[in-house]
Amino acid sequence: MSVEIVKGEDKTLTIDVKDANGDAYDLTGFTELEAEFTQTSPLAKLTLSTVANGNGSVVTSPNPTCGKIQIDIKDPDTLNLESGDNQDLEIIITDAASEKTILQLSGQLKVKERLIS
């Protein structure tokens, strides 16, 4: 899952979560989904959750039994992402028992500056 984001654009990422056997990870009953990105300012990371932030960026699971996670990032949030070819993304899934699973997508994001601004 290599994804390119141009700073200042709206972007939707769809992630298929698989278990150790390569089967869809059933997200039914999760209590929280979060996505964390590295950013330059105003904080060291951007955390998105199932509650839309002030810019409208949000994490959802449109089809939980199929292990699908959708991250909608709005342009004010992509503006502050750290630029680079090998940026990281972490997804934190919290289940009903408050057990957390952290998916690390190391180096899967390419965040590019705009050519003309």
DSSP-derived secondary structure for 70-105: EEEE-HHHHHTBPPEEEEEEEEEEE-TT--EEEEEE
pLDDT above 80 for 117: no
Are the beta carbons of 65 and 78 closer than 8 angstroms?
A: no
| Rounded distance between C-alpha atoms, residue 114 and residue 99, angstroms | 39
Contacts of 67 (CB under 8 A, 6+ apart): 16, 17, 18, 24, 25, 26, 27
- Which two three-digit tokens encode residue 105? 């997508």
Is the pLDDT higher at 117 or at 23? 23
Write the pLDDT tens digit of every residue in 2-57: 899 999 999 999 999 998 999 999 999 999 999 999 988 666 899 999 999 999 99
Give the model's pLDDT for residue 42.
60
Give the model's pLDDT for residue 44.
82
Give the model's pLDDT for residue 9.
97
pTM of the model: 0.92
Write the pLDDT tens digit of every residue in 100-110: 999 999 999 99
pLDDT above 90 for 1: no
| Rounded distance between C-alpha atoms, residue 41 and residue 109, angstroms | 18
Write the pLDDT tens digit of every residue in 58-93: 999 999 999 999 999 999 999 999 999 999 999 999
- Which two three-digit tokens encode residue 81? 């992402």
